Amino acid sequence: MGRLIYSAEVTKSGELIVSGPAADGRATERRIPLGDRQHGDWLDAFNGLAATFGTRLPRNRQSWQPQGTCPAIEPLLTRNIAPGIRDGYGDPAVIRTEHGYHLVATSNDAPEAFPILRSPDLKRWEHAGFVFPAGTAPHWAITGENVADFWAPELHRVGDGYLLCFMARDAARSLCIGLARAESPDGPFMPDPEPLLTGGVIDPHLLVCRGRTLLFWKEDTNAIWPRGLAELLREQPGLADELFDHEADRRTAHLCAALWGWARNASPMEQFFALQPLIEAGVAHYDLLRASLQDHAEVIVATRTPVYAQELAPDGRSLIGKRRVVLVNDLAWEGHLIEGNWVTHQDGRYYLFYSGNDFSTPDYGIGVGIAEDPFGPYTKMPEPLLRTNAEWWGPGHPSVATGPDGVPRLFFHAFPPGTGGYKQFRALLSARLAFHPDRVELLPALNKRA
């Protein structure tokens, strides 16, 4: 495949220029404006490149319509209800308090981080403010449009107050987990002076149970292997023939390897945008990819995304005891990652809800692992509890709280049909749950609304 030689770059004016063999073999150059260089702009660009160069069509731009609906799903919030809430309710964490219910959600790069909403009954919602109003973010966290990433907050009652865990980037653009404290779920919140964990960690979850608090989190290795693979493909172009048995994916591998020369200096999120077709090609050939990369440990190790658990010290300011791996991605539907974990204790067992696959595509879903101890071992249900349907795409990042009727409820986000991607609107949805020793079931919704 030596003939598949591409050049690719993004100009200072934001134009993607690609040169190389078109699908018919002729040497071709294509120039595509990237607009604001957001996720959708890149997906549109790769859609156009696929038509010209015969590369992989992004999953988010394929003509595909899921069938059926899920009678268990109840929409709770399907629009932004207050100024400052830009992208809806991604990564929603719902808890029950003496005031009813409180919700905190991802805010990405918005000036005011982590919206707080409250409801007496899960039907009427009001905006109670932000965890970090503009200018009050932790000193260690970078802020600003297209710079900051404030993701996955969680709020829990711990002792006499409320403890909030969250993820943000530090000055080195590394993903870190921080903590903040308040006397009320409405705030004001005081962040700890330094992150609790650093070095590419996301999706913190706190389990408050039996007199102790455990922290669960994910190591973000799924952001590492695509970069390592792109670098390998630049150094060893022939590797594309070993990894991919489809012409479109071979072309994608060569194109993304060429683009990596520019993307290696881009922001972490734009690196994801620029390499997404390569990621999707890798996931489509996942077993072959792992088998072919056995001599490249730095890449192969990163194709597993471990979820860790460790006990939080009684003062809530450090971790104690042994850090343990409690879950990894090892089922076909999970693809190259698991994330968004939440553990609930029900009838003597621990149920770990999590998300799997790429959040920006319809392949994203919610799985469940079951254990007799919070540190595991967890036995996974073989198929997702929730997956894309005709009404809602990419359900994920679950949390659990008892509903007004006394029945446990799952809370999660999803995209309206035909949408998806970074900084796209995500609705807050809910479903009633039934717990069994070996499985979890969804119960029909009581108050389903459009």
What is the rounded CA–CA span in Å between residue 244 and residue 286?
A: 10
55 pLDDT tier (thresholds 50, 70, 90): very high
Per domain, the residue ranges of the chain are 7-63+222-302, 77-220+305-443
What one-letter code names the amino acid at 252?
A: T
Average pLDDT over residues 336-365: 96
Return the sign of the alpha-carbon dihedral for residues 393, 398, 402, 408: positive
The two three-digit tokens of residue 211, written as one number: 């007199």
What one-letter code names the amino acid at 359?
A: F
What is the rounded CA–CA span in Å between residue 149 and residue 396?
A: 18
Given a cut of 70, is residue 2 above it in pLDDT?
no
Given a cut of 70, is residue 448 above it in pLDDT?
no
449 pLDDT tier (thresholds 50, 70, 90): low
Given a cut of 70, is residue 240 above it in pLDDT?
yes
The two three-digit tokens of residue 321, written as one number: 């005891």
The model's pTM: 0.96
CB 43 within 8 A of CB 58: yes
CATH architecture of 77-220+305-443: 5 Propeller (2.115)
The two three-digit tokens of residue 428, written as one number: 């807050």
3 pLDDT tier (thresholds 50, 70, 90): low
Other C-beta atoms closer than 10 Å to the C-beta of 210 total 8
Average pLDDT over residues 433-448: 93
Rounding to the nearest 10 degrees, give the CA dihedral for residues 105, 324, 200, 36: -40
Other C-beta atoms closer than 10 Å to the C-beta of 266 total 17
Given a cut of 70, is residue 350 above it in pLDDT?
yes
pLDDT, mean over the chain:
95
Task: Give the pLDDT confidence of 134-177 residue by residue, as tens digits.
Answer: 999 999 999 999 999 999 999 999 999 999 999 999 999 999 99
Helix residue ranges, H only, 36-119: 39-53
Residues 96-135 as b or e (16 or more Cβ within 10 Å = b): eeeeebbbbbbbbbbbbbbbbbbbeebeebebbbbbbbee
